A and B are shown apart, each in its own frame.
Chain A
């Protein structure tokens, strides 16, 4: 028993170097693991269909939805077939019955930052998608009320983008004189 295990352990190491393993999939979508957490990598086209599949499979809640701007980070791990893009929309789902969680990472190109909205299936994403729109400028197609949620409506720019200047500037209240 132990011998077989040891052999298996040895076989693991070269397998990591060899790229010839079939990529793991779940719900017909590329699957990776990040610290024992399951991460699915749908494309923008398959995202809506995957959500429908997951909803039918018992993932009844979108617990979290947020954006990430990978402008200055080249270190992320993605499956070979997935083309890295500047933005990512990260969706965390939960299956209460099986006590399981899944995370979806959808690549969103900068030039066409549009993602289908999950609102029709998961109305709870309403505020979260608005926040992602507000902070990253990612548009959610089909969202009923895509307005800014945290920043004032007339704010220019999307504050969580990596090319948005951050620093200690005076707080800009509306109507306050500039350059105070």
Chain B
């Protein structure tokens, strides 16, 4: 026990006396978590609040062109540019400006587009009333296609493109309905004596009620903070692997490990003291992240982090994640022969684990094979556990399976380190 306590004290002294290292351990994760949340929040706002500059060339000058124009202006998603330096934007200039990335998108509505729609609507009505001769209606039955050209910056986010396309489709279909209704109503008025054409009134028949599903009574509102704080906290906890592996390699390089191995008592005692200290660091990092989410983020215009009522579950997940990370650190520190190996392998493998874990792209949109591989990423287990708590209001029972997997990973990594150490000893 004296050996373990003395080892822990020694590790603590080594840690706190490396002030630069200590600052990096705690400040960098805070910087990361704030930046990532602000970026994610900005992406969220891109659709809702940020006006994206868009070129609109309306060659139609009729109902369709006006409907699209009005719709785009009213949506408040975009800042519409129709003139540059007092001159109308030409098709060629629009393409050039979008290609250069000056504008994300340009929409060109062709001439006589409304007329073409009107023709199509009439063709449809004529087809419907084929056997009846409606006075004054045109006999046209042929449909024509309207080509609205959209130039898109190749660097534009796919979801943004989808949003623009669905907005446009909404404006045009609305107009088509209006035209169809108007012409249909006029045709009917001509057929039925005394019948006046009915004015089209738009109203929402179907309304959508969005409720975030939860089995718990509490209903935590998902937002960039609720998503990002657990995700990036998990990520930074795993980065403890680098200083930990570095600590083990340094001790081996400077001969201290050699000396310790010649001393009485198990060398595992020394390893456990490192695990204890770095687990403490990971837990402290976690607390710090929560404090940032609760107190600092609201001052930056971000939503406040809702911790929820299950604090024991949260502590268990944090400890399990810390154990998995420290176990991984011990394995890398034991196997890697240089700091460079440990730093490169450690950092890249954590990024791979994080990618597989769904930190950047949700696992449910990944290809089938990757989805299967994801199930073996400790960051996937950790993230799932934290999402259970932060987004689904899950308690200890809900997260226990994920926490157990992380503890199993810790034990597995220690076994790997011990087996490798024994293999090396037998060389």
Tell me whether A and B are bound partners. no
The residues of B with any CB-CB pair to A shorter than 8 Å are: none
